[in-house]
């Protein structure tokens, strides 16, 4: 065949396929610009972020990762220095999330099926020592049991490195407790393990879905039910003078957030992010692969991708796969 014949065939192919592709939205990847996925500091997020990155990589996108705490991530998302947060928890992040949405700095990329709760929690053996648990008023009466050198003469509540109004709640509910926080999220489990070995009373921050529930039976403290007014109107609730006389949401949502420019810069990646959906069981499984089975975050993500191809391939919209089909 002559060279010009090759050119004719190429031109013919373009004639056949160009209308087909232009009739559809452009396929992935629309841009080589790396999509930066946020890594926070708790296990399920660290695995889920990598799973998300791997799904996008399978579509041909360049993916990078940015380490930020959940408190520090908003500025980075707003500036477009990072682009995806896969686990926005209602209990710890709803206020900042809403503020960023209202400011037009981020977009809501949808809600996972998982129902979440983040709250004061104790291992089950504590119940025998403090009758009336999980009611908060029982805890209030048992504060002596939780005295620790770090908080004496008050009972210790051990919080995580995520901003929570625990001191305000303790004050509003008149509890003889002092909240201290660990520096690293994983330190919570070091302290829990130590206390459990000694069967020593402890009340600390925990959440669900998490791997902890599979290893340590326990319960969340039942504070007065959450209501948005509890955080804005002192008159609401049992204490008319103070805010925060309530617990965290008991049926919290779990959302995905994206940089506002993501839908235009990488439309197919954004649509895929909207479809990414984890249940309670899936999230607990991701976390236990690391914290119970001892895999690295990367190995857990690789294993999940290999075991669940039928799930994640369905998150990729079919029109985003046009490019691939045309090449095949």
| Binding-residue pattern over the window 213 to 252 for ligand TMO, x denoting contact by CB under 6 A | ----------------------------------------
Whose Cβ is closer to ligand TMO: residue 121's or residue 162's?
162
SS3 (DSSP) at 86: strand
What does 228-272 look like in DSSP terms, one character per residue?
GGGGT-TTSSS-TT-S--S---SSB-EEEEEETTHHHHSHHHHHH
CB of 92 to ligand TMO, least distance (A): 4
Whose Cβ is closer to ligand TMO: residue 73's or residue 301's?
73
What are the angstrom distances between the C-alpha of 232 and each of 11, 95, 117? 66, 11, 21
Whose Cβ is closer to ligand TMO: residue 53's or residue 160's?
160
Alpha helices in 66-200 (DSSP H): 73-78, 90-102, 126-129, 136-141, 166-172, 187-198
CB of 208 to ligand TMO, least distance (A): 9
8 Å CB contact between 203 and 147? no
For ligand TMO, the binding residues in 77-106 under the rule CB under 6 A are 89, 92
CB of 43 to ligand TMO, least distance (A): 9
Q: How many residues does the chain have?
A: 328
Query: Which helix (H) or strand (E) element contains residue 204?
Result: strand 204-208
Cβ contacts of residue 70 below 8 Å, gap of 6+? 40, 41, 92, 93, 162
CB of 212 to ligand TMO, least distance (A): 11
Radius of gyration of the chain (CA): 24
Query: Which helix (H) or strand (E) element contains residue 87?
Result: strand 84-89
Q: Is 42 an interacting residue with respect to ligand TMO (CB under 6 A)?
A: yes
CB of 210 to ligand TMO, least distance (A): 7
Distance, CA of 186 to CA of 197 (rounded, Å):
17
CB of 40 to ligand TMO, least distance (A): 7
Whose Cβ is closer to ligand TMO: residue 118's or residue 285's?
118
Whose Cβ is closer to ligand TMO: residue 70's or residue 154's?
70
Candidates 122, 207, 259, 297: give the one binding ligand TMO (CB under 6 A).
Answer: 207
For ligand TMO, the binding residues in 10-39 under the rule CB under 6 A are none
Q: Which tokens in the block code for residue 306?
A: 């290999």
DSSP state of 71: T
Whose Cβ is closer to ligand TMO: residue 121's or residue 270's?
121
For ligand TMO, the binding residues in 141-170 under the rule CB under 6 A are 160, 162
Whose Cβ is closer to ligand TMO: residue 48's or residue 295's?
48
State in Å, rounded, how far the first CA of the chain is from the last one.
Answer: 23
Quick one: residue 80, left, alpha or beta (phi over 0 = left, psi -120 to 50 = alpha)? Answer: left
CB of 283 to ligand TMO, least distance (A): 10
Whose Cβ is closer to ligand TMO: residue 236's or residue 255's?
255
Count CB neighbours of 64 within 10 A.
11
* Binding residues for ligand TMO, total number by CB under 6 A: 7
CB of 159 to ligand TMO, least distance (A): 10
Q: Which tokens in the block code for residue 269?
A: 């990646």
Q: Is 118 an interacting residue with respect to ligand TMO (CB under 6 A)?
A: yes
Q: Which spans of this chain sit near ligand TMO (rule: CB under 6 A)? A: 42, 89, 92, 118, 160, 162, 207
């Amino acid at each position: 065949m002559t060279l010009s014949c090759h050119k004719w065939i190429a031109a013919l192919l373009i004639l056949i396929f160009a209308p087909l592709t232009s009739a559809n939205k452009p396929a992935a990847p629309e841009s080589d610009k790396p999509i930066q996925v946020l890594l926070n500091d708790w296990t399920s997020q660290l695995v889920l972020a990598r799973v998300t990155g791997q799904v996008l990589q399978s579509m041909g996108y360049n993916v990078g990762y940015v380490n930020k705490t959940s408190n520090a991530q908003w500025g980075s998302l707003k500036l477009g220095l990072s682009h995806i947060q896969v686990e926005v928890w209602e209990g710890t992040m709803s206020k900042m999330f809403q503020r960023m949405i209202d400011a037009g700095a981020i977009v809501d990329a949808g809600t996972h099926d998982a129902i979440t709760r983040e709250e004061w929690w104790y291992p089950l053996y504590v119940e025998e020592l403090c009758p009336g648990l999980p009611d908060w008023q029982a805890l209030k009466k048992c504060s002596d049991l939780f005295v620790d050198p770090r908080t004496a003469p008050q009972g210790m509540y051990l919080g995580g490195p995520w901003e929570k109004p625990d001191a305000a709640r303790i004050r509003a509910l008149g509890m003889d407790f002092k909240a201290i926080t660990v520096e690293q999220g994983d330190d919570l489990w070091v302290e829990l393990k130590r206390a459990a070995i000694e069967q020593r009373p402890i009340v600390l921050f925990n959440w669900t879905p998490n791997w902890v529930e599979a290893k340590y039976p326990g319960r969340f403290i039942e504070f007065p039910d959450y209501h948005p007014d509890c955080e804005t109107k002192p008159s609401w609730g049992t204490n008319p003078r103070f805010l925060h006389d309530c617990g965290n949401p008991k049926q919290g949502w779990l959302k995905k957030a994206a940089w506002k420019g993501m839908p235009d810069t990488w439309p197919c990646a954004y649509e895929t992010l909207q479809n990414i959906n984890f249940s309670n069981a899936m999230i607990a499984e991701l976390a236990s692969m690391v914290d119970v089975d001892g895999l690295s975050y990367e190995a857990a993500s690789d294993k999940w991708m290999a075991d669940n191809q039928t799930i994640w391939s369905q998150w990729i919209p079919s029109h985003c796969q046009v490019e691939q089909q045309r090449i095949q």
